[in-house]
Homo-oligomer: A and B are copies of this chain.
Amino acid sequence: MGEFDLIQRFFLEGQGRLAAGDEVPVGIGDDCAVINPTPGMQWLVSSDMLVEGRHFLSTVAPERLGHKALAVNLSDLAACGATPRAFTLALSLPRADEAFLAGFARGLFALAQAHGIALVGGDTTAGPLNICITVMGEVPRGQALLRSGAQLGDDIYVSGTTLGDARLALELFRGTVRLAGDAFESVRRAMELPQPRVALGQALRGLASSAIDVSDGLCGDLGHILARSGVGARLEADALPRSATLAAQDLALQRLCTLSGGDDYELVFTAPAARRVEVAAAAALAATPVTRIGRIEAEPGLRLFDAQGQVLPLALSSFDHFKS
């Protein structure tokens, strides 16, 4: 038995046995997993591939990497309002490093258990480090939150209170910004331990008119909603929620990080203005703060305003000039 068979046994089959049950009659260890879809539900699927240097830094602790690899996938289910059901993990590793694998598995399965989602299959191979997860979930027929439903006059919301922190952390690692120890650790957590907004997504079923998760930056991801919905928006740039750490930075950096930082894994969503009380109730039910940050307008495109109602340059919506 080669070292990669050992990984497969340790890492995958152990969890596969846990997974097998009435909902997942066959878990890891056969050619396919067998899952019983819930009658009346639609099936949702998303795949993400994580590569070192692009989606995580070599400095990340294995446990946090395991968490993040699943978190970014759960975030896609959250954006559709889905209930997580199962996931597969394909892993390419340069070598079978037991400490790495143990940490990675710990972070991965802690998050999986928190969301009641089973690892049902996967693959391991030798090769450059690469993590590919496919998540599957369910929603009642026709209730998936999509990018295409935003309507004229809808409010725009974003979840969480630390938008932009993940990007601030990246800039710290890049050396373009400096921060003291505690502040560094808190933004580093935002980058390495994003919390997928699964409960919020489910609470917004039948309420939000559109939703997306913030992976590439708020403005860019909101732009996908606008394009698919055939509408425009006005965004109150200074109303965006941010941490005390980020709020202590230059205003220009604050705006760049919140508007176009990326890697936040918060939800941006729209809902009719008449349903503000229900949105607040959904947020409370999900124990996830949300902030109203703008409004859907008929005119295509995105317009940014500051706290004084002055127009801000759209260049803020892209971090490109900041990139190395």
Measured CB to CB, the residues of A under 8 A from B are 25-26, 29-37, 39, 41-49, 51-55, 76-77, 79-80, 82, 86, 88-92, 120-123, 125-128, 130, 132, 134, 136-137, 139, 141, 144, 146-148, 211-213, 228
Are A45 and B128 neighbours in the complex by a CB distance under 8 Å?
Answer: no
Are B31 and A147 neighbours in the complex by a CB distance under 8 Å?
Answer: yes
Rounded to whole angstroms, the CA-CA distance of A92 and B52 in the bound complex is: 11
Cβ–Cβ < 8 Å partners of A79 in chain B: 31-32
A143 to chain B minimum Cβ distance, whole angstroms, is 10
A122 to chain B minimum Cβ distance, whole angstroms, is 6
Choose among A25, A88, A130, A134 the residue with the greatest number of B CB atoms under 10 Å from its CB: A134
Are A146 and B42 neighbours in the complex by a CB distance under 8 Å?
Answer: no
Rounded to whole angstroms, the CA-CA distance of A212 and B311 in the bound complex is: 63
Question: Which residue of the partner chain B has the closest CB to A147?
Answer: B30
Residue among B36, B47, B86, B126 making CB contact with A51, cutoff 8 Å: B126
Cβ–Cβ < 8 Å partners of A52 in chain B: 127
Cβ–Cβ < 8 Å partners of A45 in chain B: 32-33, 35, 86, 88, 120-121, 134, 136
Are B29 and A121 neighbours in the complex by a CB distance under 8 Å?
Answer: no
Residue among B42, B51, B128, B147 making CB contact with A125, cutoff 8 Å: B51
A56 to chain B minimum Cβ distance, whole angstroms, is 12
Cβ–Cβ < 8 Å partners of A47 in chain B: 88-90, 121-123, 132, 134
State whether A54 and B125 are in contact (beta carbons under 8 Å apart), knowing that A30-B147, A90-B48, A91-B49 are contacts in the complex.
yes
Residue among B30, B46, B86 making CB contact with A33, cutoff 8 Å: B46
State whether A32 and B125 are in contact (beta carbons under 8 Å apart), knowing that A47-B88, A49-B91, A134-B134 are contacts in the complex.
no
Are B42 and A144 neighbours in the complex by a CB distance under 8 Å?
Answer: no
Choose among A31, A49, A55, A88 the residue with the greatest number of B CB atoms under 10 Å from its CB: A31
State whether A228 and B29 are in contact (beta carbons under 8 Å apart), knowing that A42-B35, A43-B35, A130-B92 are contacts in the complex.
yes
Cβ–Cβ < 8 Å partners of A228 in chain B: 29-30
Rounded to whole angstroms, the CA-CA distance of A314 and B25 in the bound complex is: 34
A-B contacts, 17 listed (Cβ < 8 Å): A29-B147, A30-B146, A31-B213, A32-B79, A36-B43, A36-B141, A45-B121, A45-B136, A47-B89, A47-B134, A49-B123, A49-B130, A51-B128, A53-B127, A54-B126, A54-B127, A123-B132
Cβ–Cβ < 8 Å partners of A88 in chain B: 45-47, 134
Rounded to whole angstroms, the CA-CA distance of A47 and B121 in the bound complex is: 7
Cβ–Cβ < 8 Å partners of A90 in chain B: 47-49, 132, 134
Are B51 and A44 neighbours in the complex by a CB distance under 8 Å?
Answer: no
Closest 4 A-B residue pairs measured CB to CB? A51-B127, A132-B132, A49-B90, A31-B79
Rounded to whole angstroms, the CA-CA distance of A148 and B53 in the bound complex is: 42
Are A92 and B36 neighbours in the complex by a CB distance under 8 Å?
Answer: no
